[in-house]
Amino acid sequence: MHEEMLDQTLITELTVAPAAVFAEEQAAVIIESHWLGGRRMYGRWEIADIALLILLRRAGNLEQRKVVLLQTKRLYSREISVSQVDQSDYVIGIGRLGDRTDRAIPLGSRRAFSFSDACVYGAMHSGAEQVGRIDEYVRKNQIPVFYSFYNPVQLPYNALYPAPSGQGAGPPNLLGCRVQPSSEVHSRLQVLPAGQAPSLAALRSTSPMGSDDPFSTSGWRLEVFVADEVLRCRQGTLFDGTDDANLEALFYRRSAPITAAITITIDIGGRD
């Protein structure tokens, strides 16, 4: 699977989530999403795949807005290298759905996948142009960017796909999607040889980023990052005015450096 497909899966799961309404407390939480489409932006590389926008309302009136930018990367298995979406895929666009006439791997063929902490995030590497673009964007706009890493549910991990008939539920999700600040990720990339893709082990933090979490050195769990870091005002960027130039550039200009947006609206009613 390409990272774009994993992004779309995340967007889909959040889009179908029903609103949570707490009538007695006069509070509600609703999640909405918008897919802008995948195209290279801000020069040749997009700055973030997903923008997470938090809206805090009181009885319907907007009080605060906060944004977090997520650049997603996936961990590659040891057996199968996945070709990346290239420029021709963006140029051809929807035609890609019907022009695949070359021989492909039979869809029913069973393949083995295995993951360890030596597996790499193959779509990034030390000295990459995208790394410099992200650093430039953060310096210019003062909006931090975070990496959101797609990982298997645990390590080591082995699986067959398609799964054998009658196979029960998989193991619990102990690792999964993990979030780290781009500043920390880039500092670890700098010690690698130029052009080398980082392994999961190479991007581990020296200190845990959460308690009671055996994989917290790989970052915050996505849900923990949103609930405990963003909503508690430890991470993210606040926009005070409705005419903020950075907010306008991020969401309203056609060259906006994101491909999808998730909005979480929290309305806490009229009482304090």
Please report, for the chain, the start and end positions of each structural domain, with discontinuous segments joined by +. 3-7+17-80+109-267
Q: How confident is the model at residue 77 (pLDDT cuts 50, 70, 90)?
A: very high
Q: How confident is the model at residue 40 (pLDDT cuts 50, 70, 90)?
A: very low
Per-residue model confidence (pLDDT) at position 92:
61
Q: What is the mean pLDDT of residues 209-217?
A: 87
In this predicted structure, the answer to whether residue 135 has a pLDDT above a threshold of 90 is yes
Q: Using CA atoms, how far apart are residues 184 and 146, in angstroms rounded to an integer? A: 9
Regarding beta strands 111-115 and 157-161, do their DSSP bridges make them parallel or antiparallel, or are they unpaired? antiparallel
Chain-centroid distance of CA 28 in Å reads 25
Q: Which two tokens stand for residue 25?
A: 């407390």
CB 128 within 8 A of CB 197: no
Mean pLDDT score of the chain, rounded to an integer? 84
Give the burial class of 251: count Cβ atoms within 10 A of its Cβ; 0-12 exposed, 13-18 middle, 19 or more buried.
middle
CB 223 within 8 A of CB 213: no
Q: How confident is the model at residue 41 (pLDDT cuts 50, 70, 90)?
A: very low
Q: Using CA atoms, how far apart are residues 70 and 179, in angstroms rounded to an integer? A: 8
Q: How confident is the model at residue 189 (pLDDT cuts 50, 70, 90)?
A: very high
DSSP secondary structure letter of residue 130? H
For 12-49, letters b (16+ CB in 10 Å) and e give eeeeeeeeeeeeeeeebeebebeeeebeebbeebbbbb
In this predicted structure, the answer to whether residue 89 has a pLDDT above a threshold of 80 is no
Determine which of 44-48, 118-122, 168-172, 190-194 has the lowest per-residue pLDDT on average.
Answer: 44-48
Chain-centroid distance of CA 114 in Å reads 22
200: left (phi over 0), alpha (psi -120 to 50) or beta: alpha
Q: Using CA atoms, how far apart are residues 40 and 84, in angstroms rounded to an integer? A: 13
- Whether cis (ω within 30° of 0) applies to the bond prior to 172 is no
Q: Provide the CB-side half-sphere exposure for 77 (13 A, CA).
A: 18
Determine which of 6-10, 37-41, 72-76, 186-190 has the lowest per-residue pLDDT on average.
Answer: 37-41
- Whether cis (ω within 30° of 0) applies to the bond prior to 162 is yes
Q: Using CA atoms, how far apart are residues 256 and 272, in angstroms rounded to an integer? A: 36
Coil vs helix vs strand at 57: strand
Residue type, 263: T
Q: How confident is the model at residue 3 (pLDDT cuts 50, 70, 90)?
A: confident
Per-residue model confidence (pLDDT) at position 90:
54
Give the closest residue to 224 by CA, choosing from 203, 209, 237. 209
